[in-house]
Structure formats: structure tokens, C-alpha cells
Chain A
Amino acid sequence: DTGVSQDPRHKITKRGQNVTFRCDPISEHNRLYWYRQTLGQGPEFLTYFQNEAQLEKSRLLSDRFSAERPKGSFSTLEIQRTEQGDSAMYLCASSFQGGDTGELFFGEGSRLTVL
């Protein structure tokens, strides 16, 4: 297994456009998380899944953000009508709930720049 992979690594878009990020977690992991990180801040929780079920979505997240994990494997995060404030690194992480610690394994992130 090569770890958590995210695509694309970089995305530059114009304000108002839609963007979609994909995350492929470690195959045996049943939990998948999306976080957003800006410079000088820690990762901010967006949403997470156990298998295909979305367990929680941050109250801070507007309706422009949606995430899916249709078959309990890969996940997509879509941002509609992007705004300049959406510019950030979007991190995906996976974990195995039921293991010793449940630590998160992060992907390299997808950096979004909204012009």
C-alpha cells in the first residue's frame, strides 16, 4: 500500500468556478477525514466518514462544500462557486477505527488557489 493519495496536488481556479478533489485512503482503513489548513494554523476539521456513511460535517462549512464516499473507498470533496477565502490546503486522512490508537495517516494535500 502506498499510503493516502490525493489528486490534484495543486489547483488554481477563478472565483465562482467549481472544484473537486479526490482522496484514496489506505485500503484497510474504514475512516476517512477531510481537513482544511491555512498558513500558520492547524488542520481545521471539515467532515468525516465511516465506510460510506458521513458521520459529521463541520457547522462552519457552508452549503457550497459537499463530500461523498460512495463505496466506502475513495472520497471526493467538491467546492461550488469558489471564493477567495476558500484558498487553502485541503488534507485528507484515513484511520482504522478499532485499532490501538486510531492515528491519522495524511495525504500530501491538495492546494487550492482561488483568484
Chain B
Amino acid sequence: GQNIDQPTEMTATEGAIVQINCTYQTSGFNGLFWYQQHAGEAPTFLSYNVLDGLEEKGRFSSFLSRSKGYSYLLLKELQMKDSASYLCAVKTNAGKSTFGDGTTLTVKP
């Protein structure tokens, strides 16, 4: 099975940088996703890593180390609208994605 751990809550200040970590244990690893979920809404795709290294997309970057079973999502120049839950999800070779419980990020002015 899969084991996915991420912090439950984080707080950061508008304009700052925040890093949300995710560790996982899985068999048949075939990529790691980050999704954003605002309260009362469906998750939406942010990023995907399958090889080691950093993927940058605007204010958001995601890093993966397969050997360490570790990923992080980096959010720069935080805005109030970034307050949301951030979900780490691991995809297996069979194509199924398993989610962590999410990190609730609160951005304060």
C-alpha cells in the first residue's frame, strides 16, 4: 500500500515563501502530483514530478527525490487567494493516485 505524510496545517504571511513537504512510501511509483483544494471546491491540478529535480511553474515549484521518497511544493510571493488545502498524491504504475490528507495553508496579511 501507500503511506503519504504531510503536515496538517501551516501559516504564512502574504508576500512570503512557504514550503510544504510530503514524504511517501509506495510500490510501483510512477509520479507525484500536487493539487490545490479551496474550501468547498474540488481539487485542481498544480504540478507533476516523475523524475528527480525541480519543476517550476510561475509562483509554484515542486521538487522530487525518488530515492528519499520526498517531495515539496514551494509557493512564492504568497497571496491571500493561496489559502487552501494542498494535497500530495502518488501515482502508481497501474495509474491509480493515492492522496495524503492535505496541508491547510492559511495566508495572513
Chain A interfacial positions (CB closer than 8 Å to B)? 31, 33, 35, 40-45, 48, 50, 55-56, 91, 95, 97, 100-109
Contact = CB atoms under 8 A, between A and B. Distances in A.
B42 A109 contact: yes
Interface SS majority for chain B: strand
B23 to A, nearest CB: 14
Given A43-B43, A106-B43, A108-B42, A101 B31 contact: yes
Interface in B24-75: 31, 33, 35, 41-45, 48
A91 to B, nearest CB: 6
A45 B97 CA distance: 8
Contacts of B43: 43, 91, 104, 106
A108 to B, nearest CB: 5
A100 B99 CA distance: 20
A42 B100 contact: yes
Contacts of B4: 42
A106 B44 contact: yes
B45 A105 contact: yes
Contacts of A35: 99
A97 B95 contact: yes
A104 B97 contact: yes
A40 B99 CA distance: 12
